[in-house]
């Protein structure tokens, strides 16, 4: 993927490298995306959506749940 950055955004990218926050432009862009995600709780939102989907599948009978003995299978005999 090629990205053309100009103006303020380009200068910020150059500053991130010159100030030692990143070694390359690619690394600086990855760092910026991760920071954005953390600030906007992207990961938390994604996890919540996934758990909501799983709970819906369980309610609709599309996903089976296991008790602890079933989950452990043959290893259940080792748990007291």
Please compute the mean of the pLDDT values over residues 51-74 and round it to a whole number.
93
Structure tokens at 49: 């959506």
Let me know if residue 1 belongs to a domain. no
What pTM was estimated for this model as a whole?
A: 0.52
80 pLDDT higher than 80: no
Q: Write the pLDDT tens digit of every residue in 17-51.
A: 999 999 999 999 999 999 998 888 888 888 999 99
Q: State the total domains in the chain.
A: 1
**Does residue 11 belong to any structural domain of this protein?**
yes
Q: Give the residue, 69 or 62, on which the prediction is more confident.
A: 62
Q: For residue 58, what are the domain limits?
A: 7-78
With b for 16 or more beta-carbon neighbours within 10 A and e for fewer, the 3-12 pattern comes to: eeeeeeeeee
Q: Which residue would you say has higher pLDDT here, 70 or 42?
A: 70
In-domain check, residue 72: yes
Q: What is the mean pLDDT of the chain?
A: 92
């Amino acid at each position: 993927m090629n990205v053309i950055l100009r103006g303020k955004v380009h200068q910020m990218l150059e500053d991130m490298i010159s100030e030692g926050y990143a070694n390359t432009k690619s690394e600086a862009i990855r760092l910026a995306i991760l920071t954005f995600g953390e600030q906007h709780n992207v990961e938390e939102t994604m996890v919540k959506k996934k758990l909501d989907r799983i709970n819906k599948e369980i309610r609709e009978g599309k996903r089976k749940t296991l008790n602890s003995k079933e989950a452990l299978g043959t290893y259940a005999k080792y748990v007291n």
